[in-house]
Structure 1
Amino acid sequence: MDSAPFIGSDLAWDAGFTGEGITVAVIDTGTDYTHPDLAHAFGDYKGYDFVDNNEDPQETPPGDPRGGSTNHGTHVAGTVAADGAIKGVAPDATLLAYRVLGPGGSGSTENVVAGIERAVQDGADIMNLSLGNTINSPDWATSIALDWAMAEGVVAVTSNGNSGPNNWTVGSPGTSREAISVGATRLPYNVFTSEITTSEGVEYPSAKVMGFPNEDELLALNEGEYEFVDVGLGAVSNFEGKDLEGKIALIARGEFAFVDKATNAKNAGAVGAIIYNNVAGEHPDVPGMAVPTIKTTLEDGQNLLAELEAGNNTVSFDIEFAYEVGETVADFSSRGPVTGTWMVKPDVSAPGVNITSTIPTHNPENPYGYAALQGTSMAAPHVAGAAALVLEANPSWGVEDVKAALMNTAEDMINPATEKVYPHNTQGAGSIRVLDAIKAETLVTSGSHSFGKFVKDTGRQVEEQSFTIKNLSGERKRYSFDVEFTGNPDGIRVNTSNNLNVHGGKTQQVQFNVQVNTAKLEPGYYEGTIKVSDGSVIIDVPTILFVGEPDYPRVTGALFGKEDETNYYVGSYLPGGAEVLAYDMYLLGPGNTIGGFLGTIGEFSNVPAPVHEFTWDGDMNGTQLPNGDYVLAVYVEQAGEIEYRAYLVTKN
């Protein structure tokens, strides 16, 4: 309700573009096509279920012995094309659902690839994949499949992943060379200060607003004095036998999600919650909590418990507006670059925090519901819906045109912590603006560029690149170019045309090169922006280059499982290969820690990227290792870097 208008969807609707005639494939956990907000978007053919191999791609219901029920795909579909209590970005688009993730929301790479292929064959114009893994490789099967989908003329949109905020955390298929990878943002919001008071002389200096359903409910806490009740961890059982009606729930952090604690408090009748930490320090803000929630440190939480023990069981609040924060990138949103191609990812960003959309309730008495979720899974369908509006408005555009329009017209976001523009590998080209993309008169493709690695120890190295300018207007435009690298580092020089005349409706290629003197530059990556101007509009094209060997993770995951009755497959994902590779087995210690060393089960050298695998017979020091949980540690030496990463595995 807030996010679609924020990116300009309502302006596109007013201009006459609602997604009519455009088909969007939702490749996910299935979709509840009977939901009243979604039923209009489905025809007789709903899509395909690759989990159960039929033409009924419904969500997984409760009671499936293979795993839990799902609602993810329905939520994604609602953001694309709902038209009811929720209005999606493209409310008149046609939907197809492909269930590739089954019970519990898990699935196989094979099914995801099959879903991509079927969506292309079924004539989808756009596909959305709010799914992925943590493998930072452009050559993983799902990434390659999206490259092919784009080559077949289908606009492929995918989530960038939820493993941020560190660099190199983008996972496949967000690593695709061609698809539109999407990061998540939080809509502008107001920040409030908070003070809580119990009895005279007791202070709680750490009290801060953690989250709330809306500002009215938050500020309503100022209106009186409330009883507060200790409910431990805030589980449903902790509320049993306690009267919370109109009161404040005092809750400890731990064991399960903050949002569930707040929801349990609301269901018990509480009007607010105070959640105190279970360790030293401050816990995170969580937008969209079911009740207004204040957070405190462990020390202040213990003081509140002491007040209750002393019979002082009332609390009052003083909550005031402090300032507004603009659109920001979510901390959880995965960052680039991509290993191997060294590309900037995400390509663009869109709202992905506290997004309310459609879900199945799996309750026959009240089957259709709504929920607020967050993740790059919620951001991607905003872009898929936007692509539908752009395609409807510009039916002759190809997939590169749609991608370029969304990237070229995106808005930069400012990090409030630094008061500087977010890096390209955090926000991509920026936050999408639908109507601007629809009305673009110039398209610059590709929408971002990587010059790759400059590895010479001394002297100069030159790399060439090119991009294409398409003048969509009816008149000749004169373009000028400027390239700026962050910090204006000495040692990087870019040469390109000073000016270029392009006639209306024509396309021209622009050649440019970068000369890097590595002797003047510290190893690392350098971000820049190519500014293309027609005299009135400036298009920013993100670019990046690396000096020296990039600091990408040398190992990004492990493989372990039963190969046959007597053997096991063991392996790892190696973005750059490995000069030295070893697999060590440890006992599993208390609290999922690393226990005693058992031995090395495999040693290898000069292993190529991106995947290594071998067969192990289960033998450890001359005897069969008993079945159970263990820690598999992978040792990698590559290009002067050493990594040693541990993974929980089960031998059975």
Structure 2
Amino acid sequence: MKKKKRGMAIVASSVLAMSLLGFSTSVHTSASTQTVSKNYLIAYSQSLPKNYLAEIKNAGGEVLRAMPEVGGLEVRSSNPNFLSQLKSSGTIVAANNERAYKLEDGNPEGADGKRVDITPDADGTYWSSQWDIRYLTNEGKSFAIESGGTKTASGVTHKAVVGVIDSGIDTEHPDLKSNYLGGKNFVLENGYFGDVDEETGDPNNVTDTNGHGTHVAGSIAANGLVKGVGPNLGIRAYRIFDRSGSAPTSPIVEAIIQAANDGVDVINMSIGGFDNLKYYFDGTRYNDIADVLLWKRAIKYAVNKNVTVVAAAGNESLNYADKKSLTDYMNATYSSSGFLFKGVAIETPGGLPGVITVSSSNKWSTDKLAFYSNYGNSFIDVAAPGGDNGPVYDRSRDLGQRDFTYRALSTWPTKMGKYVTMVDNKGYAYLHGTSMASPKVAGIAGVIKAAHPNYTPAQVKALIEKTAIDYGKKGHDELFGSGEANAYNALTGK
């Protein structure tokens, strides 16, 4: 359920991905007073100073998270002058209201909540319905070259591990449990804003309460009735979204750092939103410079630890290279809520250095992306199948003519109620979005690392781009980047 009065969320239509744009705030009421606390991000010039706790306290704040690896803090304060009092420090390079991200909830009563009827194959699997994985792996032939690990009498020996920063995972899903290697929950007790009673703050509880993370994980490493790109890859789950679907910047940054420290080979982030360097809310000027700095530092930290970082391009159908169109879009969408955008919009994390940014291709065209996918020169590195509603819908945009089987089939939490385009209510669902494209590339990066453990992130990216299928305009283009990534080609060098 969505919570109100946190700001707002840039919701990327009904395709599952991430949204952005709210201030992290909470209201505390006593018998005689009501105070509004805000969360802030602070970026120091380099490392955290020795006196940072006293500095924050003297300005009327409380440290919620310290991120020494990137010189950052998440702070809560009810002092309306907190930022101005803090700026006396010469070691702080940026400080601003922290942004809150939001997963799109969807609509269980709408057409997306209806069951999808498909016939299982003779062996009981759904392989024939996985058009995307079949194509990426050349009908499964890449599995014989490199599946990400080897099966032994005691289980699976994983040769590479992918960290999934998302809504958690169904650790007991029959298609995922043999590849699940652990993870961490970053959600605070009662949620990030103190209004989600079901959250206990248990760092070991990575249970997926949304479904998004489980679907993403299946595209990477499912091994059962459906298959992922690397069915023997290890997966680690880093849960950043609370049950309401919210997550500020700081736990995402902390999850990137944790995944890198855990020694994962690849990080997938099927998340994204816009940070802005200059905007106004109800006439007051703001910026997101601290958010952008900490995002950049966290990604650099991971890459320096030899981690390949993959992210979704986003689902607003925007040309990221056209900066004016981004600003116009945000003003057209959110001006009624009191926002006025003047500065440059930066897509985080997809628009940052060190990230492989993935647009969404579809089943039926080699010239057009999925209708929702963002694109842009110098933004998109490669495309991957994220699915859509089929060619008939693409021409008509009639919701009644959607064919859900053109979407991506993957795992869904087995104990979660019917919510999206589920298959036979058995723990499988069709979704579409750049969220479904990004994990395909993360899976390809994973099997490359399994085959070539000494490859750097730059070498992994170069191989993915070199062996991508050149769709769209010849050469690198704004839609597909270097082309549609392909696991079989990457492993065979074709």
TM-score band, normalised by shorter chain: 0.5 to 0.7
1:31 to 169, 182, 195: 169
> Per-residue CA shift, 1:383-407, capped at 9, x if unaligned?
0111111111112211110010001
Aligned to 1:346: 380
1:7 to 136, 146, 157: 136
Structure in which a larger fraction of residues adopt strand:
1
Aligned to 1:388: 446
Q: Pairwise CA RMSD of aligned residues? A: 2.5
Aligned to 1:357: 410
State the shift of 1:177 in Å: 0.8
**Is 2:190 the counterpart of 1:41?**
no
Residues 17 and 327 of structure 1: is their aligned pair in 2 closer, same or farther, counting only changes over 3 Å? farther
Query: How far, CA to CA, are the matches of 1:89 and 1:389 in structure 2?
Result: 8
Code of the aligned partner of 1:347: D
State the shift of 1:72 in Å: 0.3
Aligned to 1:437: 490
Secondary structure in structure 1 of the residue aligned to 2:225: coil
Is residue 49–residue 55 contact of structure 1 (8 Å, CA) maintained in 2? no
Is residue 229–residue 487 contact of structure 2 (8 Å, CA) maintained in 1? no
> Per-residue CA shift, 1:608-652, capped at 9, x if unaligned?
xxxxxxxxxxxxxxxxxxxxxxxxxxxxxxxxxxxxxxxxxxxxx
Code of the aligned partner of 1:42: Y
State the shift of 1:15 in Å: 2.1
State the shift of 1:114 in Å: 0.7
Aligned to 1:89: 229
Aligned to 1:578: none
State the shift of 1:356 in Å: 0.8
2:356 to 180, 190, 215: 180
Aligned to 1:401: 459
Aligned to 1:162: 315
Is residue 167–residue 425 contact of structure 1 (8 Å, CA) maintained in 2? no
State the shift of 1:435 in Å: 2.5
1:214-293 matched pairs, under 5 angstroms: none
> Per-residue CA shift, 1:239-273, capped at 9, x if unaligned?
xxxxxxxxxxxxxxxxxxxxxxxxxxxxxxxxxxx
Code of the aligned partner of 2:187: F
1:113 to 253, 263, 268: 253
State the shift of 1:134 in Å: 2.1
Code of the aligned partner of 2:439: P
**Is 2:452 the counterpart of 1:412?**
no
**TM-score normalised to the size of structure 1?**
0.41
Is residue 184–residue 330 contact of structure 1 (8 Å, CA) maintained in 2? yes
State the shift of 1:436 in Å: 2.2
> Per-residue CA shift, 1:584-619, capped at 9, x if unaligned?
xxxxxxxxxxxxxxxxxxxxxxxxxxxxxxxxxxxx
Secondary structure in structure 2 of the residue aligned to 1:356: strand
Is residue 23–residue 124 contact of structure 1 (8 Å, CA) maintained in 2? yes
State the shift of 1:122 in Å: 1.2
Is residue 76–residue 377 contact of structure 1 (8 Å, CA) maintained in 2? yes
Query: How far, CA to CA, are the matches of 2:484 and 2:243 in structure 1?
Result: 33
1:56 to 190, 205, 217: 205
**Is 2:290 the counterpart of 1:153?**
no
**TM-score normalised to the size of structure 2?**
0.54
Residues 53 and 116 of structure 1: is their aligned pair in 2 closer, same or farther, counting only changes over 3 Å? farther
1:185-200 matched pairs, under 5 angstroms: 185-188=361-364
Residues 422 and 171 of structure 1: is their aligned pair in 2 closer, same or farther, counting only changes over 3 Å? farther
Aligned to 1:134: 274
Residues 73 and 424 of structure 1: is their aligned pair in 2 closer, same or farther, counting only changes over 3 Å? same
Query: How far, CA to CA, are the matches of 2:442 and 2:269 in structure 1?
Result: 9
Secondary structure in structure 1 of the residue aligned to 2:228: coil
> Per-residue CA shift, 1:187-241, capped at 9, x if unaligned?
13xxxxxxxxxxxxxxxxxxxxxxxxxxxxxxxxxxxxxxxxxxxxxxxxxxxxx
Is residue 311–residue 357 contact of structure 2 (8 Å, CA) maintained in 1? yes
Structure in which a larger fraction of residues adopt helix:
2
Which one scores higher on RCO, CA 8 angstroms, separation ≥ 6?
2
Query: How far, CA to CA, are the matches of 1:363 and 1:164 in structure 2?
Result: 30
State the shift of 1:421 in Å: 4.8
> Per-residue CA shift, 1:296-341, capped at 9, x if unaligned?
xxxxxxxxxxxxxxxxxxxxxxxxxxxxx4463113111235xxxx
State the shift of 1:171 in Å: 1.6
Code of the aligned partner of 2:455: W
> Per-residue CA shift, 1:359-412, capped at 9, x if unaligned?
115458998511111111100000011111111111221111001000112122
**Is 2:375 the counterpart of 1:335?**
yes
Q: Which runs of 5+ in 1 are unaligned?
A: 61-69, 189-324, 338-343, 415-419, 441-536, 538-652
State the shift of 1:16 in Å: 4.1
Query: How far, CA to CA, are the matches of 1:163 and 1:16 in structure 2?
Result: 35
Is residue 27–residue 127 contact of structure 1 (8 Å, CA) maintained in 2? yes
**Is 2:265 the counterpart of 1:125?**
yes
> Per-residue CA shift, 1:83-121, capped at 9, x if unaligned?
111101111011110101122322110010011011111
**Is 2:459 the counterpart of 1:425?**
no
Aligned to 2:429: 371
Is residue 184–residue 203 contact of structure 2 (8 Å, CA) maintained in 1? no
Query: How far, CA to CA, are the matches of 1:176 and 1:167 in structure 2?
Result: 12
Query: How far, CA to CA, are the matches of 1:156 and 1:364 in structure 2?
Result: 32
Residues 158 and 333 of structure 1: is their aligned pair in 2 closer, same or farther, counting only changes over 3 Å? same
1:444-523 matched pairs, under 5 angstroms: none
Code of the aligned partner of 2:412: I
**Percent of residue pairs bearing the same amino acid type:** 32
Code of the aligned partner of 1:54: P
State the shift of 1:135 in Å: 2.9
Secondary structure in structure 1 of the residue aligned to 2:247: coil
Q: Which has the larger radius of gyration?
A: 1
Secondary structure in structure 2 of the residue aligned to 1:74: helix
Secondary structure in structure 1 of the residue aligned to 2:437: helix
Q: Which runs of 5+ in 2 are unaligned?
A: 1-129, 150-157, 189-200, 278-288, 327-345, 388-406, 419-423
Query: How far, CA to CA, are the matches of 2:297 and 2:359 in structure 1?
Result: 20
Is residue 147–residue 231 contact of structure 2 (8 Å, CA) maintained in 1? no
Is residue 128–residue 158 contact of structure 1 (8 Å, CA) maintained in 2? yes
Code of the aligned partner of 1:124: V
State the shift of 1:163 in Å: 1.5
Query: How far, CA to CA, are the matches of 2:376 and 2:299 in structure 1?
Result: 18
Aligned to 1:650: none
Query: How far, CA to CA, are the matches of 1:161 and 1:135 in structure 2?
Result: 13
Secondary structure in structure 2 of the residue aligned to 1:157: strand
Code of the aligned partner of 2:219: T
Aligned to 1:102: 242
Is residue 185–residue 330 contact of structure 1 (8 Å, CA) maintained in 2? yes
